[in-house]
Chains A and B, each alone.
Chain A
């Protein structure tokens, strides 16, 4: 029973933000870093599967430079057995498909029974990497999973849909599942586990040929304040009357 869980160190913005000189990213000085929330649920789910099976291994895989090891160590402190980090400088600012290609090499080498990702990362919020990774690995994938039961060569999963609907799916394993928050209660690491994780060796790999990027960030900026807003003034009745006029004008047009 081997589960690979893909984890990411995410940045969160405080009250102020500045961009890097090339205007293609947020200046990291303005970010707080942590393990992506969705990934902590994915890690917990992987640990739960291992613990239920009573044997096996959970391997966390991340992509990033050395500074991103803090998030990986968080997963290790939770009880993940081993960590692998993929990095080369050309991966800075990589798009999800390029990231998936880089991760795929590592995941393939592990030949796991199951691959778990978070649904999305809280900073980029594209929900693309997991799906792209499934494509690269040629695995079936189910997204936004809220419940997971392993069978013999299959998994029964609940998939969250709009409006509170649940889609119950049976999928052949190995498979890639993207895990939704709330599927479990991620465990907290004790100080001892955190200290042990600090000492743990993290394997570092360089990716092979990544091919051409599918997208790149050209510029990041704070959108300029829009023109053309009409600020309504006066007592509530006058404002209501003016809103009525505007709506009627637009309906005609």
Chain B
């Protein structure tokens, strides 16, 4: 297939300073958990995007000095010669694919707690971070300003030496240059504070110095937030940003334009729950209307038509993607080849971002199980080895995300026949109804992408409306059987707080309900008031609270945790979800756990009240979001009652389970589980994952002892 001519503009080269991008696809700086200290993972992860057609690929935020140390979160670092060596590998691999390499030079100020370096960060004013609690900066005097600007210059030289083509002076997300520009952070009264010219001075001088040092060899990029959504105190488009663009346009080669500060950067990395693609276009267009230099920016672009519109409407010159490039590193190539229905579209769940926010772990992706596994497991998102046991037939029972992924990858690995057998009338499992929760419509892409792929695979057949029992599995005629029957919400109140059921909990009565009873089985929520008990802590409890409040119910959301949905802080969904629930009048009760459910009321006690004083909450209905349980009846019957020997006698040589059927987990991990088994279906023991390559220092014992 060939590219649709209407997308041609996306493949026109563009000059940025001394460099030329071969097309308009740019991977914006984003974290992956690898930094400079897992250089092979880093290089292979970024190179996959270059192989997939990106014209330029950036590091994550790249610290210029130990004073900007974000530990526990993982940044890249350009502190010394060894960092140059490690990051040069990424540059070399990008260059092999004809892509430019970019480094986002970063100084965090008070947001970087320096937990490893134990340095003291510097800032325009001595105010503790609004993002990283208990971190106080040193207020910079003029010597400090010169010194930190020197850090930028030295880091830029190191970036050039490593092979980077583009170097940033990064401000967005409330980092140092933007702190100087923003009254919220800058309360100075000297020539670096007060008027626009003064607030802009630090950033302008730093850009000038970096440009003088490396500008002949590297393009200079500036990433700026154009609205912090905090009124006069925050950076403002008209007051600060457009004048800044006019002031610095001559010394900047490319503008990277976004919005938000760091404490609510979900306004930039927008969850699909609240924002559609292209949310930042009005700000980007405003900058482009005054900038003579190219403007790039993100917008969770997955649809090439929207990308073309962004360029043709004069909003952007270069289409930057972050999450869509994680979900599908081959996005540009698939557009180029006209394979639009092969694009694995980002669902905007922000599970990738959650791993950075947690601090430490490598990123994961709901849609792309290979994200982050390029080096350590050697997985390529688009290339599959024929399985050594491809002459086998496979039965996958259950077409949820894990089963679909497993069947799809087994199909791509050339198994003779794969039957994906499902009790329901369509694919999707829990993901058939989860996207019907408020705001989660794009999550249906998990199902739709796989459905389209499975439909294309001639060796994979989907069999709906067939509930197999143990006998049916045994006699189905497959050599390999994979059980992927998913999980269900506990109906008896079993939970991770008390590790017990709750007295009176029983979702078979009309006034008690589980999430799937409401969303999938159509069970009516009786009465006017409903109490949702959330011991899960992710999206289910709050989503049902929003839905039922929108349906007109008086909703109480109770959790044993100190926050509702704490995991949604990591996915950047929490702030807006709090706003929505507050506006809808949902009553939130934290640190409480029911002791007894009765028709018409719930008795609950404070979790830190050893005396267990019970409070009464009157309610017409109770929704139990306590915990999920594996739907493992079929697996247990086959393993325990029928037995592996009897299965072997029928010719079944491989018997496995994947996804929530083994243990309930994030959708990303369920998909990974199905993918992992399919990738390793021809190993000696597919049940046990192969070891992955670990990047760590291995001690040369003799040398150390000598």
- Spell out A's residues near B (CB within 8 Å): 15, 32, 185, 188, 190-195
Chain A positions within 8 Å of B463 at CB level: 188
Q: Measured between alpha carbons, how far is A195 from B417 in the docked complex, in Å?
A: 11
B476 & A190 in contact (Cβ 8 Å cutoff):
yes
A191 & B458 in contact (Cβ 8 Å cutoff):
no
User: Least Cβ distance of B337 to chain A in Å?
Assistant: 12
Query: What residue in chain A is nearest B463 (Cβ atoms)?
Result: A188
A15-B1, A195-B393 given; name 10 further pairs at CB < 8 Å: A188-B466, A190-B419, A190-B476, A191-B417, A191-B477, A191-B478, A192-B476, A192-B477, A193-B477, A194-B477
The 0/1 profile, CB within 8 Å of A marked 1, for residues 464-477 of chain B is 01100000000111
A195 & B1 in contact (Cβ 8 Å cutoff):
no
Query: What residue in chain B is nearest A191 (Cβ atoms)?
Result: B477
Q: Measured between alpha carbons, how far is A193 from B475 in the docked complex, in Å?
A: 10
Chain B positions within 8 Å of A193 at CB level: 477
Query: What residue in chain A is nearest B416 (Cβ atoms)?
Result: A191
User: Least Cβ distance of A136 to chain B in Å?
Assistant: 35
User: Least Cβ distance of A12 to chain B in Å?
Assistant: 12
Counting CB contacts under 8 A, is B210 at the interface? no
Chain B positions within 8 Å of A15 at CB level: 1
Q: Measured between alpha carbons, how far is A11 from B475 in the docked complex, in Å?
A: 32
Query: Provided the pairs A15-B1, A185-B465 are in contact, do residues A194 and B417 lie with their beta carbons within 8 angstroms?
Result: yes
B1 & A191 in contact (Cβ 8 Å cutoff):
no
Counting CB contacts under 8 A, is B395 at the interface? yes
Chain A positions within 8 Å of B477 at CB level: 190-195
Chain A positions within 8 Å of B478 at CB level: 191
User: Least Cβ distance of B427 to chain A in Å?
Assistant: 14
- Top 8 closest pairs, chain A to chain B, by CB: A192-B477, A191-B477, A188-B463, A191-B393, A190-B476, A191-B478, A190-B477, A191-B476
Chain B positions within 8 Å of A192 at CB level: 475-477
Query: What residue in chain B is nearest A16 (Cβ atoms)?
Result: B1
Q: Measured between alpha carbons, how far is A193 from B466 in the docked complex, in Å?
A: 15
User: Least Cβ distance of B648 to chain A in Å?
Assistant: 16
Query: What residue in chain A is nearest B418 (Cβ atoms)?
Result: A191
Query: What residue in chain B is nearest A193 (Cβ atoms)?
Result: B477
Query: What residue in chain A is nearest B477 (Cβ atoms)?
Result: A192
Q: Measured between alpha carbons, how far is A188 from B458 in the docked complex, in Å?
A: 15
Q: Measured between alpha carbons, how far is A180 from B463 in the docked complex, in Å?
A: 21
Q: Measured between alpha carbons, how far is A194 from B394 in the docked complex, in Å?
A: 13
User: Least Cβ distance of B391 to chain A in Å?
Assistant: 12
User: Least Cβ distance of A163 to chain B in Å?
Assistant: 28
Q: Measured between alpha carbons, how far is A200 from B458 in the docked complex, in Å?
A: 22
Chain B positions within 8 Å of A190 at CB level: 419, 475-477
The 0/1 profile, CB within 8 Å of A marked 1, for residues 377-408 of chain B is 00000000000000001010000000000000
Q: Measured between alpha carbons, how far is A192 from B479 in the docked complex, in Å?
A: 10
Chain A positions within 8 Å of B417 at CB level: 191, 194
A191 & B465 in contact (Cβ 8 Å cutoff):
no
The 0/1 profile, CB within 8 Å of A marked 1, for residues 328-361 of chain B is 0000000000000000000000000000000000
Query: What residue in chain A is nearest B462 (Cβ atoms)?
Result: A188
Q: Measured between alpha carbons, how far is A205 from B478 in the docked complex, in Å?
A: 34
User: Least Cβ distance of B397 to chain A in Å?
Assistant: 12
Query: What residue in chain A is nearest B395 (Cβ atoms)?
Result: A191
- A32, A188, A194, A195: which has the most chain B beta carbons within 10 Å? A188
Chain A positions within 8 Å of B395 at CB level: 191
Chain B positions within 8 Å of A195 at CB level: 393, 477
Q: Measured between alpha carbons, how far is A32 from B461 in the docked complex, in Å?
A: 15
15 intermolecular pairs with C-beta atoms under 8 Å apart: A32-B458, A185-B465, A188-B461, A188-B463, A188-B466, A190-B419, A190-B476, A190-B477, A191-B393, A191-B395, A192-B476, A194-B417, A194-B477, A195-B393, A195-B477
User: Least Cβ distance of A87 to chain B in Å?
Assistant: 24
User: Least Cβ distance of A233 to chain B in Å?
Assistant: 17
Chain A positions within 8 Å of B1 at CB level: 15
Q: Measured between alpha carbons, how far is A15 from B339 in the docked complex, in Å?
A: 11
- A32, A188, A191: which has the most chain B beta carbons within 10 Å? A191
User: Least Cβ distance of B4 to chain A in Å?
Assistant: 12
Chain A positions within 8 Å of B419 at CB level: 190-191
Q: Measured between alpha carbons, how far is A191 from B461 in the docked complex, in Å?
A: 10
User: Least Cβ distance of A199 to chain B in Å?
Assistant: 12
Q: Measured between alpha carbons, how far is A192 from B419 in the docked complex, in Å?
A: 11
User: Least Cβ distance of A11 to chain B in Å?
Assistant: 13
Q: Measured between alpha carbons, how far is A191 from B417 in the docked complex, in Å?
A: 8
Q: Measured between alpha carbons, how far is A212 from B393 in the docked complex, in Å?
A: 47
Q: Measured between alpha carbons, how far is A49 from B31 in the docked complex, in Å?
A: 63
Q: Measured between alpha carbons, how far is A185 from B465 in the docked complex, in Å?
A: 10
Chain B positions within 8 Å of A191 at CB level: 393, 395, 417, 419, 476-478
Q: Measured between alpha carbons, how far is A15 from B475 in the docked complex, in Å?
A: 38
Q: Measured between alpha carbons, how far is A32 from B395 in the docked complex, in Å?
A: 23
User: Least Cβ distance of B493 to chain A in Å?
Assistant: 39
User: Least Cβ distance of A75 to chain B in Å?
Assistant: 15
